[in-house]
Amino acid sequence: MWRKAGVVRNQAQLEQALTELVELRTELDQVGCPGGPLYNLAWSAALNLENALDVSEAIVRCALARQESRGAHYRSDFPERNDEEFLCNLILTHAQRPPQMQAIDMGRMSPENLA
């Protein structure tokens, strides 16, 4: 994630990250650790791998969908903010991919009122 979906992102690196995450997910069934769960930090880490993959995949899929730069999300291939298309939330679930755009009402905090 740090190398392919870090602070500065672009489409090619994000697509590579997604490919690697899919590969890691296929290997997840073979992950285990010796001993039982009692006083075993490795056991806890093994259980958290699936969650880490879920979060990483969500970050990458949403970063690919958001073809702009906004806040801490910087795409070198889309360096400008694009309020016309992407002033929205992206919603991603296990059942529904790719991310869906959800309009938001900024009210008095809209970008044009902050300038």
pLDDT of res. 74: 96
113: amino acid identity, one letter: N
Q: How confident is the model at residue 115 (pLDDT cuts 50, 70, 90)?
A: low
Long-range contacts of 63-72 (CB under 8 A, 24+ apart): 63/5, 63/9, 63/14, 64/11, 64/14, 64/15, 64/18, 64/98, 65/90, 65/98, 65/99, 66/90, 72/7
- Return the CATH fold of 8-114: Methane Monooxygenase Hydroxylase; Chain G, domain 1 (1.20.58)
What is the tens place of the pLDDT at every residue in 96-110? 878 999 988 877 777
pLDDT of res. 114: 64
Confidence (pTM): 0.82
- Return the domain boundaries, the chain: 8-114
